[in-house]
A and B are shown apart, each in its own frame.
Chain A
Amino acid sequence: QSVLTQPPSVSAAPGQKVTVSCSGGRSNIGSSFVSWYQQLPGTAPKLLISEDYKRFSGIPDRFSGSKSGTSATLGITGLQSGDEADYYCATWDNVLDALVFGGGTKLTVL
């Protein structure tokens, strides 16, 4: 069980917007930057967002990141079938002294 809590699944229709939440605590999200990863089936994770909100090189502006207190959110607008993937949040936990990942959220584009 991860210290970062994500919903197991989210879904939305093509063209719509979806958000993925990542809830933690003061020792992790509350005191460190959050990053987000997309993992397409059978492939390695790919960095989408670093340092809470910075899009990685080549990532379209349909993807956005935000953080408030001990929670972070990944937003995806203009959903496409190619966005169907697992999404993970990650940050450093200074009590565990470890880098921690959320449990992952499976996005289905209806």
Chain B
Amino acid sequence: DSGVTQTPKHLITATGQRVTLRCSPRSGDLSVYWYQQSLDQGLQFLIQYYNGEERAKGNILERFSAQQFPDLHSELNLSSLELGDSALYFCASSVVGFGGYTFGSGTRLTVV
């Protein structure tokens, strides 16, 4: 157990639907990061939150959004899903600027 908890582990949904992925960071970490990993794109940085505020955006689509709550857990919302959104979604947490990231075990999203 890395200390970063992601739920659900697996999700199967239809095109056009909306899903929410949840992440609880490691205790004490204020930064949360979301990554997408598909077979052809590798690990892509989506977005970072720090203590409730958005800090950095990567290759995140407009159909996707995220937020970090006062208890520091984060949610990634994916809407109008397409087949190409099928991927592993990882959450990581860190102390900004120091040490390493701790990744969760990921959510495998399958869009059918």
The answer to whether A and B come from one shared complex is: no
**What is B's interface to A at a CB cutoff of 8 Å?**
none
**What is A's interface to B at a CB cutoff of 8 Å?**
none
